[in-house]
Amino acid sequence: MWLWFSKLGSPKWFYELSGRWLPWLVAAMFAFLFVGVVWALLFVPQDYQQGLTNRIFYVHVPVASISLAFFPLMAIAGTITLVWKMKLADIVVKTAAPLGAWFTAFALASGSIWGIDTWGTWWIWDGRLTSLLFQFFLLIGVVSLRSALEDSDAAAKACALLSIVGCINVVVIKYSVDWWNTLHQPGTDFVLSSNKANGPDIWVPLVLMIGAVYLFFAVSMIMSTRNEILERERRSQWVEELVDNL
Amino acid sequence: MLNAIQFSSFSEFLNMGGYAFNVWSVYGLFTIFLGANLLVPMFKKKQILKDLKRRRVVNKNARPEINE
């Protein structure tokens, strides 16, 4: 277990392992995306109130829900950075922040465009929308904090701390729809029986899209983590050998 | 579980029941969002490797003894 843990922290080991996994993850991502998008756009029946705007649900919900995973991920990696100074953990904190900002921005934008016709407004200072906008600014804050601090050790510590504190906002986002019930609808439980309003013909494509977006998240994170490893380890022997063999 | 295709013609599909702007702009943004976060790291990797390769060659020519 400890051997595995210390190996996982080794950039070289991660670089080699992720290089073997990446093609499979990319293939799975495109497969899930293709089936999910075709199903959502062509086959899902229209909603009795919102008509065909329910197509937006299948991209908005996966991206918005996975956007909540960024702060917990960065907080775990940040804690590992603070306690064990593992090289790889700080790289994860660094690469997750801008991707998280993209996720949050897309969740806000797609929600706004959906709201234009279904809510009659593209923006309202509702609990869910406001706390998600706050998450966007927090993530931009983590990105700029790192570029503002010259000393990379201090930057790693500061970003780790901000990531841990930022988790409080995730709890607010999650329960915002129950605490302040304004326009954004609360969470929904899905049912297995297909004669219910939200049966499998509604949620199976959603599950596919959630899988697709998770795979995209993994692929993009791994790609930028590998880039960061190459830059930070450029003086190490294994990177020099890798470059020589090009 | 799988329903029939909900559209009888391609133009009906494009029209999205009158919500063409909402649906297609969201799917368009989704494509940009995925594309940017996959292509940018891909090109960045090429750039980094090219840069490292160039430095390596320069270093080797400057100090030929490291080849031994």
Q: Which of A33, A46, A220 sits opposite B37 (nearest CB)?
A: A220
Q: Do B27 and A44 touch (CB under 8 A)?
A: no
Digit-by-digit pLDDT tens for chain A (246 residues) are 555 566 566 888 999 999 999 999 999 999 999 999 998 888 888 787 777 888 899 999 999 999 999 999 999 999 999 998 888 999 999 999 999 999 999 999 999 888 888 888 888 888 888 889 999 999 999 999 998 888 888 889 999 999 998 898 888 888 888 777 777 877 766 555 555 566 777 888 899 999 999 999 999 999 999 999 999 988 888 898 888 887
Rounded CA-CA distance A135/A141 in Å is 9
Q: Which residue, among A227, A241, A246, would best test binding to B if mutated, counting the most B CBs under 10 Å from its CB?
A: A227
Residue B31 touches chain A, beta carbons under 8 Å: no
Q: Distance, in angstroms, between B5 CA and closest chain A CA?
A: 5
Rounded CA-CA distance A72/A58 in Å is 24
Question: Domain map of chain A by residue range?
Answer: 13-244
Residue B57 touches chain A, beta carbons under 8 Å: no
Query: Average pLDDT of B32-61?
Result: 91
Rounded CA-CA distance A76/A88 in Å is 12
Q: Which residues of A214-246 are buried (b: 16+ CB within 10 A; e: fewer)?
A: bbbbbbbbbbbbbbbbbebbeeeeebbebbeee
**What is the sign, positive or negative, of the torsion defined by CA atoms of A37, A43, A44, A45?**
positive
- Helices in A41-84 by DSSP H: which ranges? 54-67, 70-84
Q: Distance, in angstroms, between A200 CA and closest chain B CA?
A: 7
Rounded CA-CA distance A63/A172 in Å is 18
Q: Which chain B residues are within 8 Å of A41, Cβ to Cβ?
A: 13, 27
- Going by pLDDT thresholds of 50, 70 and 90, the confidence category of residue B1 is low
Reported pTM: 0.89
Interface of A with B in 111-150 (CB under 8 A): 113-114, 116-117
* CB atoms inside a 10 Å sphere around CB A129: 21
Question: Domain map of chain B by residue range?
Answer: 10-67
Inter-CA distances, A133 with A103, A107, A128, A146, A212, Å: 11, 10, 9, 21, 24
Q: Which chain B residues are within 8 Å of A219, Cβ to Cβ?
A: 38
Q: Distance, in angstroms, between A162 CA and closest chain B CA?
A: 24
The residue of chain A with its CA nearest to that of B22 is A113
Interface predicted TM-score (ipTM): 0.86
Pull the structure tokens for residue A187.
């969470």
pLDDT given at position B68: 47
pLDDT given at position B20: 86
pLDDT given at position A151: 84
> Per mean pLDDT, which of A45-49, B12-16, B38-42 is the most reliable?
B38-42
Residue A16 touches chain B, beta carbons under 8 Å: no
- Going by pLDDT thresholds of 50, 70 and 90, the confidence category of residue B5 is confident
Residue given tokens 């008509």 in the structure block: A51
The residue of chain A with its CA nearest to that of B21 is A113
Residue given tokens 């790289």 in the structure block: A91
Contact A95, A243 (CB under 8 A): no
Inter-CA distances, B38 with A23, A179, A222, B24, Å: 13, 37, 10, 21
Q: Distance, in angstroms, between B60 CA and closest chain A CA?
A: 11
pLDDT given at position A7: 59
